[in-house]
Chain A
Amino acid sequence: MTDAALRPLPEGMERPGVARGLLSLVRDRYLLTLLVRKELRVRYQASVLGLAWSYVKPGAQFAVFYFVMGQFLNLSRSLPPYAIFLFSGIVVINLFSEILGNATRSVVGNGALVRKIFLPRQLFPLSSVLVALVHFLPQLVILVVGALISGWRPDLLGVVAGVLGIALTLVFALGLGLLFAAINVAYRDTENTVDLILMVAVWFSPVLYNIALVRDHFGADSWLTWLYQANPLTIAVELFHRAFWWNAAEPGIRDGALVDHVMTRGVIALAVSVVLLWVGDRVFTRMSRTFAQEL
């Protein structure tokens, strides 16, 4: 018997457990906030520093990169204020990494629930996004304060670039996260693959160095340069450079330091990521029908 041969159900009856898309989750806002609160409570259970850990980790990361790349390898001379350049990239990578890493594990991690109770399963990757945002906001505040101290003043295009950069990172990471979360139910190799991607992500986007280095090395017309610049994460990082670093840098230094047409590229990358999110949501919805039995 195929779906086409199903008899219609009596008037007023519904099929239980029909998987719906991401947009249907507006109905489950309250449950979503409780899941996010649970996640944060559990993560900082019996921890003295609690949420402060979300400052300590990027802080240490920043210090290491600043001294190794900025001082030893002398990058801070070529990209002043280098601390701002570095940190604006790091916060984007951190946001992306936390969403993708946690979303990938979210369905398997909530296996006990998925196996026993029907819930819209998109709730789990989506709550990873919200938890990551909770960690991201204080970092953003530090970035803004640091930039102000370094002589940065906000400009309209910069604010637009910042908002676009955040939107792009969220959409791109959630799109990938939905895909990987669904595949991870059947193949646990996915988690390790994602860890690998996250490990190299910081090196394959212009966080520690600027994009001119890539252009000079491969040549401006090389397909490798094209590929590097096609990475939405590269664009998100550059949008953040435009937002928080560009206005603090000397004109002689900032000219040509970023990818060209950064705003246009940002809009294109966002459009591509929205399509990816749509595909990820469809794939996740389809595969979610067998989550309960495969876990």
Chain B
Amino acid sequence: MGSATGREAIVVDALVKRFRFRHVHSLKETVARWVRGRSENVDEFTALKDVSLTIAEGETVALLGFNGSGKSTLLKCISGVLTPDEGQVGVRGRIAGLIEVGAGFHPDLTGRENVYLNGAILGMTEAEIEERFEAIVAFSEIEEFIDQEVKFYSSGMFLRLAFAVAVHTDPDVFLVDEILAVGDEPFQRKCLDRIRSLRAEGKTLVIVSHDLNMVADLCDRGILLEHGVVVMDDEPHAVVRRMRGEA
């Protein structure tokens, strides 16, 4: 599972992430709780239980596991959206969480305005966005609609533009969550090509996808999560076989 540089890109160290459920967001409920002297522990759920792993620079890792096993939670802890309750996460270099493409898109803005806004949200400077604007638009294949408001786009066009911005941010670490199923066949192939070329450039990638065959072929390492615990860390095809109950 080696990489050329040998330096760590991501270190996850004894990470624990819990979620608390406060079902009613009102003061009345809270006051009632205090009066009854109930602690909130009853409604706690541990999504990640003591997860430790190290990913080297240049590695392409498939994060595998069934729904609710904690894949998205782990990616959000790595991207900084969620803060660990215990343990820690370390990252080297700039990081882009393609957790959900188009998160910062606004329907009332034009495609062009959204490219600038999202480029900036994903950490690009004004000069960087200007420099890559043409490439982003070309990649998304929506040239003639770029000055139209995004709310008039088809969902495919919207996702293509969002994905195009995301893959042009040029970070060192990419976190990809369920976004490779974007758009039609040809565009999917294009996305995959882009991911492969990022990989060839030596970027570090952590990929979550429902298309198990695709990620197994794409990645050089597979990590299996079950109920918030890492249960397997091996060659990806072997991990997929175990998931399918074949091994």
Contacts and interface: CB of A to CB of B under 8 A. Distances in A.
Interface of A: 1, 6-7, 9-10, 12-18, 30-31, 34-35, 37-38, 41-42, 45, 112-113, 115-119, 186-189, 289-290, 292-294
Interface in B1-32: 7-8, 11, 13-14, 19, 22, 25-27, 30
Contacts of B11: 9-10, 13
Contact of A187 (B25, B100, B125): B25
Contacts of B76: 292
A1 B14 contact: yes
A41 B150 CA distance: 13
A117 B99 contact: yes
B183 to A, nearest CB: 20
A289 B92 contact: no
A1 B87 contact: yes
B156 interface: no
Interface residues of B, number: 42
Given A30-B120, A117-B104, A189-B26, A289 B83 contact: yes
Nearest to B107: A42
B90 A14 contact: yes
Nearest to B125: A30
Interface stretch (B108-116, B139-147, B213-221, B234-242): B108-116
A45 B108 CA distance: 7
Given A1-B14, A187-B27, A17 B109 contact: no
B106 interface: yes
Contacts of A188: 25-26
22 contacts: A1-B14, A7-B13, A7-B88, A9-B90, A13-B8, A13-B11, A15-B90, A16-B79, A18-B80, A30-B120, A31-B121, A34-B120, A45-B108, A113-B103, A115-B103, A116-B81, A118-B79, A119-B121, A187-B27, A188-B25, A189-B27, A294-B22
